[in-house]
Chains A and B, each alone.
Chain A
Amino acid sequence: DTGVSQDPRHKITKRGQNVTFRCDPISEHNRLYWYRQTLGQGPEFLTYFQNEAQLEKSRLLSDRFSAERPKGSFSTLEIQRTEQGDSAMYLCASSLGSNRPQHFGDGTRLSIL
């Protein structure tokens, strides 16, 4: 049973560029979550999917952010026109059903130059 996998581990980009992150959940987990974590803080919820349906989006998720989960398997999170404030660790988690423990990936650390 492999865990949640995220790619890339690190991403450095210039302000204004677009970036895309990928998350592969634990197989048979139908729920997939994206969180953002900044230094010294707990993770903050961004959005989540049940299978391929995006069921909730946080107010933190501006129009520059979009997430997809085609076919209910892997998910991608895209940030367009990146800003300095987007620098953070982006965490993906998956779970088997609602209110079950969420299992997290190692995250993608985004640094904006």
Chain B
Amino acid sequence: AQKVTQAQTEISVVEKEDVTLDCVYETRDTTYYLFWYKQPPSGELVFLIRRNSFDEQNEISGRYSWNFQKSTSSFNFTITASQVVDSAVYFCALSEAETGRRALTFGSGTRLQVQP
């Protein structure tokens, strides 16, 4: 069965520090998709990135970057030069293409607190 593990429950950093959020997944499918979502204190889930299992290229978007490694079943998220506005709960999620299950399986989330 599919599973997503975010072992870091809470991380606290000081502004301008770099921080990496870990995500490890389990799936039997060879075709699957990985996602990151941000949930700020206001509560809405905001989509950040989608990556399919055949694309292992790292991606950078501004201060955000993602490292996908199939060999270790990991999809880690790094925020460079963190800012107070980055404070939120971040969720990693998985959806499987082959089994036909289209719903997202979420990890339990990592709460990031960025102190000024």
Contact = CB atoms under 8 A, between A and B. Distances in A.
Interface of A: 31, 33, 35, 40-45, 48, 55-56, 58, 89, 91, 93, 98-107
Given A99-B33, A101-B35, A43 B102 contact: no
Given A102-B47, A106-B44, A42 B109 contact: yes
A98 B35 CA distance: 14
B106 interface: yes
A42 B95 CA distance: 14
Contacts of B103: 33, 35, 45, 48, 56, 58
B104 interface: yes
B108 A40 contact: yes
Contacts of A44: 106
B44 A101 contact: no
Contact of A42 (B33, B50, B106): B106
B14 interface: no
B105 A45 contact: yes
Contacts, number: 60
B45 A104 contact: yes
A42 B97 contact: no
B101 interface: yes
A42 B104 CA distance: 10
Nearest to B52: A99
Contact of B45 (A48, A56, A91): A91
Contacts of A89: 43
Contacts of B50: 99-101
A41 B102 contact: no
25 contacts: A33-B103, A33-B104, A40-B109, A42-B91, A42-B108, A42-B109, A43-B91, A43-B104, A48-B103, A56-B102, A58-B103, A89-B43, A91-B45, A93-B45, A98-B97, A99-B50, A99-B95, A99-B102, A101-B50, A104-B37, A104-B45, A104-B47, A106-B43, A106-B44, A107-B44
A55 B101 CA distance: 9
